[in-house]
A and B are shown apart, each in its own frame.
Chain A
Amino acid sequence: DIQMTQSPSSLSASVGDRVTITCRASQTINVALNWYQQKPGKAPKLLIYAASGFRSGVPSRFSGSGSGTDFTLTITSLQPDDFATYYCQQSSITPLTFGQGTTLEI
């Protein structure tokens, strides 16, 4: 199985900050990397697909980059609604696997 490792596990930030979350795959996955946001009691919500693809309706302050094994999710100018847990997920081969999550706290 491809292991996905996110860092940091948790992150404290303030409204208006720029934050970056990193995801590393245990083997190369080209750009088959997706990012989700999850709030308590809710299902994850797709933010970015194929490493840098923007999903319609997602604010432009969210962006993704990377290829191979190393990927980043960047949130510019944090808004109150952005405090949540973020997950990466590889879609290169089955089993599809997720990172352990990064909790973004105020």
Chain B
Amino acid sequence: QVQLQESGPGLVKPSQTLSLTCAISGDGVSSNTDAWNWIRQSPSRGLEWLGRTYYRSKWFNDYAVSLKSRITITPDTSKNRFSLQLNSVTPEDTAIYFCARGPSYFDFWGQGILVTVSS
């Protein structure tokens, strides 16, 4: 059974960088068939897909256009996990952040982590 677990700080100051990690068990971040996604949820934005990383003989990333200048998703093959970095955060980035397995539909999700952007 695939399990995903998010971790990281629950409070980030405005203008700083939000950094989260998703640990994978039961599957591999280097899988040739899966993709590893970050999704967030807030009352104002609903469910919002942020981006994904995946391996198809080499590593690829796709990002939401609205975040493209601020977001980086990075695989860590040594620890079988992947990470999210979101730069220059504002209170609008306050949300529950989920990691999920793709590539098209999301069949396994982490439990989510609430990240609040506040000074």
Contacts and interface: CB of A to CB of B under 8 A. Distances in A.
Interface in A7-26: none
A89 interface: yes
B108 to A, nearest CB: 8
Contacts, number: 51
B49 A43 contact: no
A100 B46 CA distance: 6
Interface residues of A, number: 22
Contacts of B48: 98
A14 B32 CA distance: 44
B109 A43 contact: yes
User: Could you tell me the dominant secondary structure of chain A's interface residues?
Assistant: loop
B46 A89 contact: no
Interface residues of B, number: 19
B112 A55 contact: no
A71 interface: no
Nearest to A98: B47
A55 B104 contact: no
B104 A91 contact: yes
Contacts of A97: 49
Interface string B90-119: 000000001010101111011110000000
A44 B109 contact: yes
Contacts of A34: 104-106
22 contacts: A34-B104, A43-B98, A43-B109, A43-B110, A43-B111, A44-B47, A44-B106, A44-B109, A46-B105, A49-B104, A50-B105, A89-B105, A91-B104, A94-B49, A94-B62, A95-B62, A95-B64, A95-B65, A97-B49, A98-B46, A100-B46, A101-B46
Interface of B: 37, 46-49, 62, 64-65, 98, 100, 102, 104-107, 109-112
